[in-house]
Structure 1
Amino acid sequence: MSSSTKPAVQHGPPGAPANGARIDARTWIAVMAGMLGAFMAVLDIQITNSSLRDILGSLSATQEEGSWISTAYLCAEIVVIPMTALFVRAFGQRRYLMGTTALFLVFSTLCGAAWNLQSMIAFRMLQGFTGGALIPMAMTLVMTRLPPAKRAVGMAMFGLTATLAPAMGPTLGGYLTELYGWPSIFYINWVPGVLLIAGMYWGIDREPMNVRELLKADWLGIAFMAVGLASLTIFLEEGNSKDWFDSSFIITFASLALVGILGWIVIGFWRQNPFVNLRLYGQRNFLVATMLSAVIGMGLYGSSYLLPLFLGQIAGYSPMQIGEVIAWMGLPQLFVMPFVAPLSQRVDNRLLCMFGLLLFGGSCLMNAYMDASTGYDQLMVSQVIRAIGQPFVMLTLSNFAMNGVQPKDMPSASSLFNMTRNLGGSVGIALLATSLTNREHFHSARLGESVSLAASATQSRLDALTQAFIGNGIDPATAANQAIAAVDRIVRRESFVMAYNDGFWIVGVILIGAIVPLWFADKVKSPGGAGGGGH
């Protein structure tokens, strides 16, 4: 019996069940409720993407202004994630999770009722600040409520929330907008939200409040962190639309991000008890896991950014049709994850993660050869391959991140790991948005050199188009102008197709290249039934 309890003492937080202990229904309900919360919070990052055109039309806002709808949510979410451990210590796990979920639902409802762009941005920011805590808390619940032998299953469920939600966001948003209107994408949060509150109420014991934690908190460090992370997110999200360092707005936020993050790091290492333990980055496994988490965030959010844009702009798909394509990146994961969890207990997680990165990166490289006729049928295979690879990566990275972390540092580790993934997503979208703009200009210039009015092939095509327009009853002068415009549209379309291909190529190469730092981590396996953690 002593051999089975020892691993729990070594690897689990205080009060966590010993390995082999029976887990009652209340515990599983609490863990499942945590997963539902994380899924809901990640889903809401992407759910507005398919509906943005309808939202902007209702709020009389431009496309550039509308980018703040996502930026506000992401800023607040990234800022609150590192603060979660502090709030849990102050209010207790049960009270904080129920309270922040209730506020999340209130602000979601207000988003659906927003009357102008300013009110929408304000409510989205408050929604992100209340919902962001749900992401790291799901991971913490797995580590604190489950014995080592069951954590592979728990981490598998958590991995699904991180990979399934970005895939399902555009799908669900597209369906709801087309059937019930865009406010329904916010009102739908009441379904999982009420279940989450009920699950937390029943599944987690009442804990005493300790508001003194807030009074003695490292508020200077929190202020630097909030300014740094929020400014970095704004810099990344808005940089491309404002021409990066040609804009004084972007230079200001880049400077604030640098000062804020450097200040946070200095105070974090100087203070004896910082609000989140940055010294965890000194552990090799945790450092590798968070670096790869950023890369995965880039791949997850980057592919979810590129594909809907391509299908909407090039293929002319409706939000619902886009959702049907994206769904194939999510649904197969439900069938793959149950096999990955037991494998992670038997096989070196570096091998599993490498396999997942190869599939994920390879699927992006498959999308780097699209043409203007590419649609649902041609994309299905790459989407399924991506869906198979993602669970292998997410589960194993969670294992690397938590391996060897002291019980008292688990909330900090969860916060930093999840924060890094979201930041990676922001970096990925910024990189791809800039690449899309620059590569479209590049390809347009190169194609324009070939498709010149002096070229015989171009003249033949223009003559054929002109005759076709004349045949439809258009006068010769107008027909000639329309023929030139049609060729110009084809050049622009092909330029964009090649730019999208370049974007997927970038993501694929980065994901496959991440295999190199992976092997700097130690050999780790999920704890098995006999106990023990990673090795």
Structure 2
Amino acid sequence: MADATTASPSMISAASVPDERIPPRRLFAFLIMVFGMFMSILDIQIVSASLNEIQAGLSASSSEVSWVQTSYLIAEVIAIPLSGFLSRAFGTRLLFAISASGFTIASFFCGFASTIEQMIVWRALQGFLGAGMIPTVFASAYTVFPRSKFYIVGPIIGLVATLAPTIGPTVGGYITDLMSWHWLFFINIIPGIGITIGVLILVDFDEPNFKLLEHFDWWGLLFMAGFLGSLEYVLEEGPQYQWLQDTSVAICAAVCLASAIAFFWRVLTAHEPIVDIRTFGDRNFAIGCLISFCVGIGLYGLTYVYPRYLAEIRGYSALMIGETMFVSGVAMFLTAPLVGRLMTKVDMRYLIAFGLCSFALGSYLMTWITREYDFYELLVPQILRGVGMMFAMVPTNTIALGTLAPERVKNASGLFNLTRNLGGAVGLALINQVLNERTDLHISRLHERVNWGNAMAVETLNMFTQRMQGMGDSARMAMKQLSQIVHRQAVVMGFGDAFFMLAVFYVGLSLLVVLMNKPPALAAGGGTGH
């Protein structure tokens, strides 16, 4: 294991904090911020299990209600990279207080929304204002605390970043079932007020630099908003509207391309760029971001696939889906302290590879999925998913951000968190595309096999016909029921294909760790760097 004396000067400067003891006030302030980050990430998925109730309550169409999630995601993706600049300008204390209070106010108005248009506007503001809390916590973890304490703070933020979206459907299902969908938003108000006050009183990590605001790059913000906002729209809407065959998707794709070119030109030429992409020149940070992007695919992709299978094939309610999905959350919670300890003893690159392979194994076990898969069949794959996520995410966070010079961490944290969210958007688009295409393929293949020459198909059809005698056109109703069975089987086979794709992808991704520079060992106590 490498000694910290072999680390580069930037790594040593990042680690050199005079006092190794964490003051209780500072730790408590950090935990308050972590809870704010948890709320912000949780709200991405908390509405996913309750969209039908929100749709009914606001008299919205199915396409309109999907924007309750999409508007939040688009706004959040734009705000996350912006937070690096704002954190340097306003300081951690002021930016976090603004984010927490804005998020709370927007949550209040979301709960009282009476039309879908109002809901979409307030959800966008909720996502934009709340997004600043996420990278600010990551940056604080790796600049405020000494390197020897990373094995404690790393698992805390890694657990929150992965656990919040995983248990989002569970929490949302319980709240909607016990009260109403309005409380998905009202539940944020009391904690949000407490977080805002707590941060204003306790956080003293750094000082603001308001002079930076004189150089705020409005053109850079405009180009970044056009690039990331339109990209998120294309990824969200593309799979269901045949991509560029839809006019709005094609227009947004063109806006995305033009804005991307303008954005990258601007950040490379501006005196004070809104985002410093030169941080990608650090190999560990660049590869860490790539792994974070790919982990985002699985994190958000499977949080989408499992509920969809349980709802469409098993007919589960939102509450039952939440209870089934809770297994992964428990696995993550129990794994986090273990990962923290192992980071002080084992090369973190091996931990990442183990996590990615565990995730791949969990996905591979699901390739044999049938329509009979229930809680116990999903148990081991979900445990492997939770364990794999923690082993992959926590060391990746530490390698990517914990070895950067302190003055680069705030900007880098915004970019790092952006990659995870973009990975989630890309993952959902790819998984939807695979499910659509493979389901259509399996339907056509099954229809070829289910014909009058297939004895089992004829026997099943006759059985259905006999059951429906005296209920009208029994032959036609039997044919319709058989067709539904064929379609359901094709959908299940499509799910199996999606899981197989993820398994192969994550096995390949685990090989990327060999490209990382060996990080210095974390100390489990005492001085830094040993």
- 1:448-498 per-residue CA deviation (whole Å, 9 max, x = no partner) reads 11112453332221111111222xx435xx111111111011001101111
- Percent identity, please: 34
SS of corresponding position for 1:524: coil
Structure 2 match to 1:406:
405
Which amino acid is the alignment partner of residue 471 of structure 2?
I
Structure 1 match to 2:516:
521
Q: Distance in 1 between matches of 2:308 and 2:205?
A: 46
Compare 304-313 and 111-120 and name the one that shifted more: 111-120
Are the equivalent residues in 2 in contact too, given 1:332–1:388 (CA < 8 A)?
yes
Structure 1 match to 2:352:
353
497, 502, 506: which one pairs with 1:502?
497
What pairs with 1:167-246 in structure 2 (closer than 5 Å)?
A: 167-205=166-204, 210-246=209-245
- 1:400-453 per-residue CA deviation (whole Å, 9 max, x = no partner) reads 212542221100111100000000000000111111111111111110111124
Are the equivalent residues in 2 in contact too, given 1:443–1:495 (CA < 8 A)?
yes
Are the equivalent residues in 2 in contact too, given 1:35–1:158 (CA < 8 A)?
yes
Structure 2 match to 1:82:
81
Q: Distance in 1 between matches of 2:32 and 2:16?
A: 19
Q: How many equivalent residue pairs?
A: 527
Structure 2 match to 1:435:
434
Structure 2 match to 1:374:
373
Q: Distance in 1 between matches of 2:267 and 2:452?
A: 63
Pick closer, same or farther for the CA change 1:138–1:170 going to 2, 3 Å.
same
Structure 2 match to 1:448:
447
Query: Shift of the alpha carbon at 1:117?
Result: 1.2
Q: Distance in 1 between matches of 2:493 and 2:229?
A: 33
- 1:76-103 per-residue CA deviation (whole Å, 9 max, x = no partner) reads 1111111112222332221221121011
Which amino acid is the alignment partner of residue 345 of structure 1?
T
Q: Does 1:466 align with 2:461?
A: no
Structure 1 match to 2:334:
335
Query: Shift of the alpha carbon at 1:241?
Result: 1.8
Pick closer, same or farther for the CA change 1:461–1:272 going to 2, 3 Å.
same
Structure 2 match to 1:313:
312
Structure 2 match to 1:293:
292
Q: Distance in 2 between matches of 1:55 and 1:12?
A: 51
447, 451, 476: which one pairs with 1:481?
476
Are the equivalent residues in 1 in contact too, given 2:46–2:169 (CA < 8 A)?
yes
488, 499, 522: which one pairs with 1:493?
488
Pick closer, same or farther for the CA change 1:120–1:526 going to 2, 3 Å.
farther
Which amino acid is the alignment partner of residue 455 of structure 1?
N
Which amino acid is the alignment partner of residue 498 of structure 2?
G
What pairs with 1:232-271 in structure 2 (closer than 5 Å)?
A: 232-271=231-270
Q: Distance in 2 between matches of 1:403 and 1:6?
A: 15
Which amino acid is the alignment partner of residue 485 of structure 1?
K
Which amino acid is the alignment partner of residue 47 of structure 1?
I
Pick closer, same or farther for the CA change 1:318–1:5 going to 2, 3 Å.
same
SS of corresponding position for 1:508: helix
Compare 107-116 and 187-196 and name the one that shifted more: 187-196
Structure 2 match to 1:383:
382
Query: Shift of the alpha carbon at 1:213?
Result: 2.0
- 1:20-69 per-residue CA deviation (whole Å, 9 max, x = no partner) reads 52211111012111211221111111111100111111122222222211
Query: Shift of the alpha carbon at 1:527?
Result: 2.6
Query: Shift of the alpha carbon at 1:112?
Result: 1.4
Compare 254-263 and 486-495 and name the one that shifted more: 254-263
Q: Distance in 1 between matches of 2:189 and 2:365?
A: 38
Pick closer, same or farther for the CA change 1:282–1:208 going to 2, 3 Å.
closer
Q: Distance in 1 between matches of 2:404 and 2:468?
A: 70
Are the equivalent residues in 2 in contact too, given 1:403–1:524 (CA < 8 A)?
no
Are the equivalent residues in 1 in contact too, given 2:146–2:528 (CA < 8 A)?
no
Q: Distance in 2 between matches of 1:358 and 1:435?
A: 22
SS of corresponding position for 2:22: coil
Compare 290-299 and 215-224 and name the one that shifted more: 215-224
Are the equivalent residues in 1 in contact too, given 2:90–2:210 (CA < 8 A)?
yes
Query: Shift of the alpha carbon at 1:218?
Result: 2.1
Aligned-residue CA RMSD (Å): 2.3
Pick closer, same or farther for the CA change 1:194–1:11 going to 2, 3 Å.
farther
Which amino acid is the alignment partner of residue 495 of structure 2?
Y
Pick closer, same or farther for the CA change 1:252–1:390 going to 2, 3 Å.
same
Compare 68-77 and 400-409 and name the one that shifted more: 400-409
Query: Shift of the alpha carbon at 1:206?
Result: 8.8
Which amino acid is the alignment partner of residue 486 of structure 2?
V
Q: Does 1:34 align with 2:29?
A: no
Q: Distance in 2 between matches of 1:206 and 1:426?
A: 33
Pick closer, same or farther for the CA change 1:115–1:13 going to 2, 3 Å.
farther
Compare 192-201 and 181-190 and name the one that shifted more: 192-201
Q: Distance in 1 between matches of 2:302 and 2:464?
A: 36
Pick closer, same or farther for the CA change 1:34–1:12 going to 2, 3 Å.
farther
Which amino acid is the alignment partner of residue 216 of structure 1?
H
Query: Shift of the alpha carbon at 1:211?
Result: 3.7
Are the equivalent residues in 1 in contact too, given 2:353–2:511 (CA < 8 A)?
no
User: What is the TM-score of this pair, normalised by structure 1?
Assistant: 0.94
Q: Distance in 1 between matches of 2:362 and 2:482?
A: 32
Are the equivalent residues in 1 in contact too, given 2:165–2:303 (CA < 8 A)?
yes
SS of corresponding position for 1:182: coil
- 1:118-142 per-residue CA deviation (whole Å, 9 max, x = no partner) reads 1111111000001111110111111
User: What is the TM-score of this pair, normalised by structure 2?
Assistant: 0.95
SS of corresponding position for 1:514: helix
Are the equivalent residues in 2 in contact too, given 1:526–1:533 (CA < 8 A)?
yes
Unpaired stretches in structure 1, ≥5 consecutive residues: none
Structure 1 match to 2:392:
393
Are the equivalent residues in 2 in contact too, given 1:4–1:20 (CA < 8 A)?
no
Q: Distance in 1 between matches of 2:374 and 2:183?
A: 28
Are the equivalent residues in 2 in contact too, given 1:329–1:384 (CA < 8 A)?
yes
SS of corresponding position for 2:515: coil
Are the equivalent residues in 2 in contact too, given 1:346–1:525 (CA < 8 A)?
no
Which amino acid is the alignment partner of residue 445 of structure 1?
S
Are the equivalent residues in 2 in contact too, given 1:368–1:504 (CA < 8 A)?
yes
